[in-house]
Amino acid sequence: MVRIGAHFHTADPLADAIARGADAAQFFLGDPQGWKAPVIPGGGPAAVRDAYAAADVDIYIHAPYVINVATTNNRIRIPSRKLLSQQLNAAASIGAKALIVHAGHVTAGVDPAEGLENWRKAISRIERPLPMLIENTAGGDGAMARSLDALGRLWDAVGGGERVGFCLDTCHANSAGIELADAVDRIKAIIGRVDLVHCNNSRDEFGSGRDRHANIASGTIDPALLLGVVSAAGAPVICETPDAGGGLAADVSWLREHLPAA
């Protein structure tokens, strides 16, 4: 059975995961918009690792949004590498399955090839004690992983690295103009696999370039397309959808109910 989890923004993701019937909890180790070193919650690494293992709940850590190892701006790229390394080590210390990081971007007027070179350098210089999953993004002309063509170029640059994988976000893909009906097959043709799915519906239309998540049954994407992505990927799933009104629990339950028949 596919492991189905959710992203939690609270102080006790494990309790939230158990309450919502989730097999996995994704969370941040600190401020997602900040540059501070990661903070281990709940009594230290061993205590966190043991508590999640006892509850049979997998851990996934999402790196802060500020990280951008692709940029040519030294004042962002160098701290990004440092923070990414810290996040990887902290995630490994609590027994996380993987760390997810956005692919980043270069600014207007900068050749995307420079961003690819910066990714090559990052892969060669940053040790990865657990899998680092690069996530596709919804918009931006200089984005490293918005289109499948861009993803292919990024994978040519970094795909040979040890413990480097891919996280497919369905909302991001839809907003980037990637048809979900055959997205997994096309991505597997580039990468060979999908390591994690962020199963999110979208508040916006196809190709909008906007990153605004919706619950599975309430967005602009046909839920059957989302189910098809999850089934084709055969990878663990994290819902990063609104929790208001029991939304996250409903999304986890919906996937669990529909996946056996997919």
Please give the pLDDT value at position 141.
82
Residue 260 has what pLDDT? 67
Distance between start and end Cα atoms, the chain: 12
Q: What is the pLDDT of residue 134?
A: 98
Contacts of 57 (CB under 8 A, 6+ apart): 5, 14, 17, 18, 22, 23, 24, 25
- What is the per-residue pLDDT across 237-262, written as a single tens digit (0 to 9) for each? 999 999 999 999 999 999 999 996 44
Closest residue by Cα to residue 199 from 28, 6, 16, 58: 6
| pLDDT for res 262 | 41
Beta-carbon contacts of residue 199 (< 8 Å; ≥ 6 apart): 170, 216, 226, 229, 230, 237, 238, 239, 251, 255
What pLDDT does residue 221 have? 98
Residue 15 vs residues 23, 74, 99: alpha-carbon distances, Å: 12, 40, 21
pLDDT in tens, 131-153: 999 999 998 889 999 999 999 99
Taken in order of first residue, the domains within the chain and their CATH numbers are: 4-261 (3.20.20.150)
Q: What is the DSSP letter of 20?
A: T
pTM for the full predicted model: 0.96
Cβ neighbours around 245 below 10 Å, total: 9
Q: What is the pLDDT of residue 139?
A: 85
Per-residue pLDDT tens listing for the chain (262 residues):
899 999 999 999 999 999 999 999 999 999 999 999 999 988 899 999 999 999 999 999 999 999 999 999 999 999 999 999 999 999 999 999 999 999 999 999 999 999 999 999 999 999 999 999 999 999 888 999 999 999 999 999 998 778 999 999 999 999 999 999 999 999 999 999 999 999 999 999 999 999 999 999 999 999 999 999 999 999 999 999 999 999 999 999 999 999 964 4
